[in-house]
Structure 1
Amino acid sequence: MNRLARAALLLTGLALPALPIAAQHAHHQAPNPASAIAAAVAAPSRTPDNSVRDRYRHPAQTLGFFGITPTQTVVEYAPGGGWYTEILAPLLRDHGTFYALQPTGRGLDGYKGFLAAKPAIYDKVKLIAFPDDTATIPAGSVDTVLTFRNIHNMVMGGTEAATFKAFYAMLEPGGTLGIVDHRLPESRDSALEKTSGYLKVSTVRRIAQAAGFEFAGASEVNANPKDTADWEKGVWTLPPTLRNGEVDKAKYLAVGESDRMTLKFRKPLK
């Protein structure tokens, strides 16, 4: 074997280990966001009663619109019974960070029990009491803050300005605030926002922009034209609450869950 042949053989031998290393590196890369979201939505660990409501809440399209990826640091404000936690926790478990920012005294103990029931899935969820322990989330460290059907509670309780200020502080410059809530037609009396559970889009935009956010877009993915938003017992007349019980239940089930705005805001880069 001549010198050139021996050199070629040596180089070939040195190159061989590079293939499994490259393959291993690719294996540890975060998955495609759309595929990862789809897998989390389809996860068998989700509660069947929750999965049935996907047709009203469109979680894959909603999270896609908000730009969620498996590598992000995400805060969900007031996760309540954990409907979106069932999706977000496994989605972010391996490559991202998930904070559950639950208001003190508003289902906090119940949410703790929800997490404890499936430790293999929820062991990395960082549960933070709001507003008591909010400062444990480093300022400017969050990619996305999400809240689903909670702004109306803030408005009814008069806490919207302080809560949005907290959102703004924890988000990094350029970070996203994603909001879904029950939509009140702009022509209706604004006084209904204090009692009905519905809000005008203009009201939510005003609150967000007063806190310093820029409007970044809207989606109709959670719209429901069957919802007239004029129910005697507010949005809670409709499923899933069905406040009238068996009275006209079939009628309200036929309407489905509420008509919802899906809004995206950004914290300015400067």
Structure 2
Amino acid sequence: MLSALALSPLALGATAFAAPTPEDKLRAAVDGPQRSAANRARDGARHPYETLAFFGLRPDAQVIEIAPGGGWYTEILAAYLSPKGRLYAAHEPAEGSPGQQRARKAFADKLVADPATYGRVVLGTLPVERFTDIHPPGGADAVLTFRNIHNWISDGHFDETLRAFFAVLKPGGVLGVEEHRALPGTSLSQVIASGYVPQDFVVDRARAAGFRLAAISEINANPRDTHDHARGVWSLPPTLRGGEVDRAKYLAIGESDRMTLRFVKPAR
């Protein structure tokens, strides 16, 4: 016999209108209308739902997105973290090179054009040695970086940037990393030339900055990527720097083989 509670209209209503889970909210943000068609077209290569779920974000979290570029992940994160969380976008410096200034302005214009999605996003500046204008130290729940580490190695401030991430995170906070993955033993000169970074190098440098490696995911692995292209990682989509030269081959490979790592700032 069914219990009275099972037949209760109140119980049925509570079930029908249960609050969405964080997973539901993340899926809605990935599938939401705020995303451009061009960005959606890359989901099969970038796996945004699986990547962000692996990082363990909550919709009420304080998240810093590092070097968001044109806002590929910003479109998802801003929607997911609204209205209870907050997204901080650490972009190029406003007083940087002409190219950096153009990139920052284009991103700022994107935010202003859609206040319903981006009205709570805080625009700040990339750290080199420390954050200066975006978030108080020790208060962020997560710092996320997608395909940026090779640039910091080339510019000579990878270790300093990792220390800045460590300082801005609260104890237990997450550093989420996605990066083009080199074959083991790749030299730093090859890293700079190719854009691919050895996974063990990233892990070693993050540990030296104080982080603990919590988990590794292969969601962004690509076994078709041989890592030895004439123009490095930029030979592959979406850049296709070689133009029509071997274009079909690179399209068949797809986007790069990438590591996906979750680090944690220890509680003590």
TM-score interval (norm. to shorter):
0.7 to 0.9
The residue type equivalent to 1:48 in the other structure is: A
Q: Is the 8 A contact 1:178 1:262 kept in 2?
A: yes
The alpha carbon displacement at 1:139 in A equals 1.2
The alpha carbon displacement at 1:38 in A equals 0.5
Is 1:142 aligned with 2:131? no
Give CA deviations for 1:120-153 in whole Å, capped at 9, x if unaligned: 2111101112238634411111111100000111
The residue type equivalent to 2:110 in the other structure is: F
1:113 counterpart residue number: 109
The alpha carbon displacement at 1:189 in A equals 3.6
The residue type equivalent to 2:215 in the other structure is: G
Cα distance in 2 for partners of 1:136, 1:263 equals 24
Cα distance in 2 for partners of 1:108, 1:136 equals 15
Cα distance in 2 for partners of 1:43, 1:124 equals 17
Is 1:182 aligned with 2:171? no
2:31 counterpart residue number: 42
Q: Secondary structure of 1:194's partner?
A: helix
Q: Is the 8 A contact 1:46 1:86 kept in 2?
A: yes
Determine what percentage of the aligned residue pairs are the same residue: 50
Residue 257 of structure 1, aligned match among 250, 255, 258: 255
Q: RMSD across aligned C-alpha pairs, in angstroms?
A: 1.8
Cα distance in 2 for partners of 1:196, 1:248 equals 17
Q: Is the 8 A contact 1:224 1:258 kept in 2?
A: yes
Q: Is the 8 A contact 1:214 1:268 kept in 2?
A: yes
Q: Is the 8 A contact 2:196 2:227 kept in 1?
A: yes
Q: Secondary structure of 1:222's partner?
A: coil
The alpha carbon displacement at 1:117 in A equals 2.3
Q: Is the 8 A contact 1:108 1:129 kept in 2?
A: no
Q: Secondary structure of 2:69's partner?
A: coil
- Give the greater-gyration-radius structure (CA): 1
Q: How does 1:80-91 map to 2 (within 5 A)?
A: 80-91=69-80
TM-score (ref. length: structure 1): 0.87
Cα distance in 2 for partners of 1:135, 1:112 equals 16
The residue type equivalent to 1:205 in the other structure is: V
Residue 22 of structure 2, aligned match among 28, 33, 36: 33
TM-score (ref. length: structure 2): 0.87
Cα distance in 1 for partners of 2:49, 2:67 equals 20
Is 1:201 aligned with 2:199? yes
Q: Is the 8 A contact 1:77 1:101 kept in 2?
A: yes
Q: How does 1:45-84 map to 2 (within 5 A)?
A: 45-84=34-73
Give CA deviations for 1:59-109 in whole Å, capped at 9, x if unaligned: 000001000111111110000110000100010011111100113133222
Deviates more, 1:123-132 or 1:90-99: 123-132
Deviates more, 1:165-174 or 1:98-107: 98-107
Instruction: Could you list the structure 1 runs, at least 4 aligned residues long, displaced by more than 4 angstroms after superposition.
Output: none
Residue 215 of structure 2, aligned match among 217, 242, 264: 217
- Flag the 1:133–1:220 CA change in 2: closer, same or farther, 3 A: closer
Residue 266 of structure 2, aligned match among 259, 265, 268: 268
The alpha carbon displacement at 1:268 in A equals 0.7
Aligned residue pairs total 246
Is 1:102 aligned with 2:76? no
